[in-house]
Amino acid sequence: MKAIFTLLFLMVVCVAIFALGSLRRGADGKSVMHVAKEVPLTVHVARPLQGAITRIVQAPGDVEAVLEVDISSEIVSKIVDMPVEEGDGVTVGQLLCRLDDKNLLADLESAQARIAQLEAAVVQATAEEEKAERDLNRQIDLFKAQATSDLEIRDYQTAHKRAAALRDMRTHELAQAVAYKKRIAEDLKKTVITAPLGGIVSRLAAKQGEVVVTGTMNNPGTVIMTISDLSKMQVRARIDEVDVPLVAEGQLGRVYLQSDPNTPVSSRVIRVASKGAKSVGRDVVTFEALLEVVGNEARVKPGMTANVEIEVARREDAIFVPVEAVVHRMRKDLPADIVKAFDDAQAGLSLSERAKQGQYIKVLYAMEGDAAKVRLIEAGIADTRNVEITSGIYLSDIIIVGPYRSLDQLADGKKIALAEEDKKRMESEKSAVQKEETLVDGNQPGKDGAAQGAQKTVAASAKP
């Protein structure tokens, strides 16, 4: 019996404890049994700034000359003279390379002799045609006088046609020999290779004494050297498929060379590829973009690797906060008024888009007294460090920006405390503002001073 009373007593105690735990205080919404003092989160804060913000797209790239020519040979021969070296400057028409022309000179002499031979053959064939024509005419006269037969007339006609055909054949052979001589003469000209443009010898791939070959379907041929015009340089960048819709012709960019990553070089987008490509062994699709280097920078050389930043959007008078201040929260973790305001803003979207946008809500936390207050915001463009806020904050707000561990634990109404360095900075700012207000009131008393103080208060609390 005693055991039964003990069991009933324990059950009553458990029910009482459960009932007390379910009761909430009206002040902070916590359980009435929660008597432990809440430990505030230590946070870093910053004020919103107003000024210019630029959205950029970053991509790797390679530097090359706008005008660059690979010098190759159009004939198979040996290099006998190369008066230039790598790095030398050249002008249009300057001698770059001379090839062995002995065989071609011999072929040219042979072609000339063949032409002379065929010219004599044409004369001979023409004379034989004229003799065959005279014989045929004499036989025609004899046939009219009934002094010869019809068979002999036909024999002489055949002989005349044969002589005419032989003369035509010799004439065509002569034309063929003349064309062959022209081809040999053109090949002789190709043994002297000159610069097609002014610039420098950026690469020397062959040496004197080597045999160069012409390109075929399976063989690209021998590249003797590369001539680059360094007065105009460009960067061939590889833009990720996510960012390529933002990039357009005419946008400004900055080129950071690996050799000097701290000093950018101005550039401008001149073309964006309409079709992407995949690198070997990778599934990432990139689009090629050409950026023209503005100005003549001596440190920009062909073959260098670089990183480019392209300005795709810019706001001159934006209000922005550090990117780490903007966080995403699930709907169930936010106050009802914030969720309702968000849903009202999404009313114009389709159901699928609203479902996609409504999974997480973009907010930030402002410091109000010793607590964090959630703010529903609309974000604009962003750069690498800041994000534009188009609505949801005041210039006078104190925004919580970190650390990450505290941001992850923040909730609406959560107790917070400033880090020591932030506390000192905020006190210093407050003292500076008070000093400035005192100076304004002292220098311009009366209505003017009061008006300026009012203007300053309005400016500090104005919405973006």
Q: Which two tokens stand for residue 357?
A: 């946008």
Q: Give the pLDDT mean for 64-68.
A: 91
Mean pLDDT value across the chain: 84
Cα 268 → chain centroid: 11
Q: What's the whole-model pTM score? A: 0.64
Q: For 406, what's the count of Cα atoms within 13 Å in the CB-facing half-sphere?
A: 23
pLDDT in tens, 2-24: 677 677 767 776 666 666 555 55
Res 453: pLDDT: 37
Q: Is the pLDDT of residue 39 over 90?
A: no
**Eight-state DSSP code of residue 217:** S
- Six-digit token string for 36: 């432990």
Structure-model confidence comparison of residues 149 and 76, the more confident one: 76
CA Rg value for the chain: 46
Kindly state the average pLDDT of the residues 448-457: 37
d(CA 237, CA 239): 6
- DSSP state, 251? -
Percent of the chain with pLDDT over 90: 54
- Does the pLDDT of residue 278 top 90, yes or no? no
DSSP three-state, residue 337: helix
* The pLDDT of residue 253: 94
Single-letter code of the amino acid located at 352: S
pLDDT for 231 equals 86
Does 464 have pLDDT greater than 70?
Answer: no
* pLDDT tens track for 374-407: 999 999 999 889 999 999 999 989 999 989 888 8
pLDDT tens per residue across span 324-368: 999 999 888 889 899 888 888 877 666 666 665 567 889 999 999
DSSP string for 156-211: HHHHHHHHHHHHHHHHHHHHHHHHHHHHHHHHHHTTEEE-SSSEEEEEE---TTPE
Q: Quick check: 282 pLDDT over 70? A: yes
DSSP state of 294: P
Residue 329 is inside which H or E element, if any?
strand 327-330
The pLDDT value recorded for residue 93 is 93
3-class secondary structure, 83: coil
For residue 227, give the 3-state DSSP assignment. strand
Give the confidence band of 424 by pLDDT, cuts at 50, 70, 90. confident
Give strand ranges (E) for 219-259.
223-240, 252-257
Residue 331 is inside which H or E element, if any?
none
pLDDT at 353: 62
pLDDT on residue 433: 64
**266: which strand partners?**
254
Nearest to 171 by CA among 213, 124, 210: 124
Higher pLDDT, 384 or 167: 167
**pLDDT reported for residue 457:** 33
| 195-236 pLDDT, tens digit each | 999 999 988 999 999 999 887 666 667 899 999 988 889 999
- Which among 83, 111, 92 is positioned nearest to 188, based on CA atoms? 111
d(CA 313, CA 204): 43
Which residue's entry shows tokens 């190709």? Answer: 190
The predicted pLDDT at position 295 comes to 82
pLDDT band at 252 (very low <50, low <70, confident <90, very high): very high
Say which amino acid occupies 370: D
Average pLDDT for 32-37: 53
Burial class (CB in 10 A: 0-12, 13-18, 19+), 279: exposed
Q: Helices 447-461 & 420-443, crossing angle to 10 degrees?
A: 150
Alpha-carbon gap, residue 444 to 450, rounded angstroms = 8
Tell me the helix, strand and coil percentages in the chain, rounded to 5: 40, 35, 30
